[in-house]
Amino acid sequence: MTSLEHLKGDLVLAREIGAIVHTMKVLAAVGMRQYEQAVEVLDAYEGTVERGLIALFRGRHVDLTGRAVLPAQEMIASGGRLALIVVGSDQGLCGRFNQDVVRHAVVSLQERGLPLRVPLVLALGGRTEGALERAGCRPQRVLDMPVSADGIGPVVEEVLTVLDEWRTRRAVERVVVVAHERFIPRRDAAGGEVTSVPPVPRTTRLLPPASAWLQRLGAQPWPSRSLPAWKMPWEELLARLLRQHVFCSLYRVLALSLAAENESRLRAMQRAEDNVEKRLDVLTRAIHVERRELVTRQMLDVVAGYEASVGVASPSRRRTRGTKPDANRNAMGARSRAPQADH
């Protein structure tokens, strides 16, 4: 196979890779948008849960220390064993997405003065498990990440089931989530869209509920003249509403992490597309050079073949041969001028 054929094969391969990269970019953009829409829908549901808590806290001085948060009817304390949830990805082609979130989790533990073996670790994403093990932190449980917005709810329920088990059997009282958080651009008061920022890992406290958030809810007045009423026991209704709050918090974390994963993949595919375009330009230029050289060689072969077929000599040989007829003519002229001998 000639060099030109090699270059043409590389050019075809580069174009195929470029088509795959473009498809991955489109899928990442579509996936990112669907998770953003899931977060927008969640805002309305989470607002309903908060209004229910405002109704429960209305006219009461609430201290949740020692009250149930999950249906296991167990106590919340400021101390207790820590559970760490690390949210990553199952799929690749997203840059250093998993390495960054694991490094942030390790730094968060070090800032709290905790060794890596102290907390119970729940990893979301198969690639997260590998990154955690390389960092020296082996997770106790590993769950798969959802592949669409419809799969977030079942995964959240599975996580809550694991947390119920850990709180019952292993005395877990504090839960921290480490995940990428993508800032969703929204329009400001002037109607302009706020510039998006790259996703970064962030630590979120899941349990127990933040006291500042509870105080803020307790201080808010009921937003309507129609006062709320309920028939369920106050403690049971509080536990269910707080569980829904935890559900919403986990759902938001997973949706934003999936959106951040797709944004990281989109950025990685953009860099790959730039590299493919550079490679295509290099191959195209190399093919043009090789083609010109091939055409030049073929033209020289044609000229050489023509000269050989018609017997045309080179210019230097023509100059050498050009002196012989003149010499012959001079010799013949000299013989003609010589005197004839008498017979």
Tens of pLDDT along 298-328? Answer: 888 888 888 888 875 555 555 555 555 555 5
Given a cut of 60, whether residue 76 has pLDDT beyond it is: no
The whole-number average pLDDT for the span 30-38 is 89
Task: Output 286 or 62, whichever has higher pLDDT.
Answer: 286
Q: How confident is the model at residue 215 (pLDDT cuts 50, 70, 90)?
A: confident
Tens of pLDDT along 170-214? Answer: 888 889 999 988 765 555 555 555 555 678 888 888 888 877 787
pLDDT of residue 246: 92
The DSSP secondary structure of 40-102, one letter per residue, reads HHHHHHHHHHHHHHHHHHTT-----TT--SSTT-----SSSEEEEEEE--SS--STTHHHHHH
pLDDT of residue 68: 39
User: How is domain 28-186+193-268 classified at the architecture level of CATH?
Assistant: 3-Layer(aba) Sandwich (3.40)
User: What are residue 78's phi and psi, to 5 degrees?
Assistant: -75, -25
Given a cut of 50, whether residue 88 has pLDDT beyond it is: yes
Full-model pTM: 0.74
pLDDT of residue 184: 58
Spell out the domain ranges in the chain: 28-186+193-268
Who contacts 254 (Cβ-Cβ below 8 Å, separation ≥6)? Answer: 87, 124, 145, 146, 152, 155, 156, 179
Given a cut of 70, whether residue 90 has pLDDT beyond it is: yes
Mean pLDDT, all residues of the chain: 80
Tens of pLDDT along 220-272? Answer: 888 888 878 888 888 888 889 999 999 999 999 999 999 999 988 888 899 99
pLDDT of residue 60: 63
The whole-number average pLDDT for the span 267-294 is 90
CA angle 48, 185, 86 (to 5 degrees): 70
Give residue for tokens 């993508």. Answer: 182
Given a cut of 80, whether residue 74 has pLDDT beyond it is: no
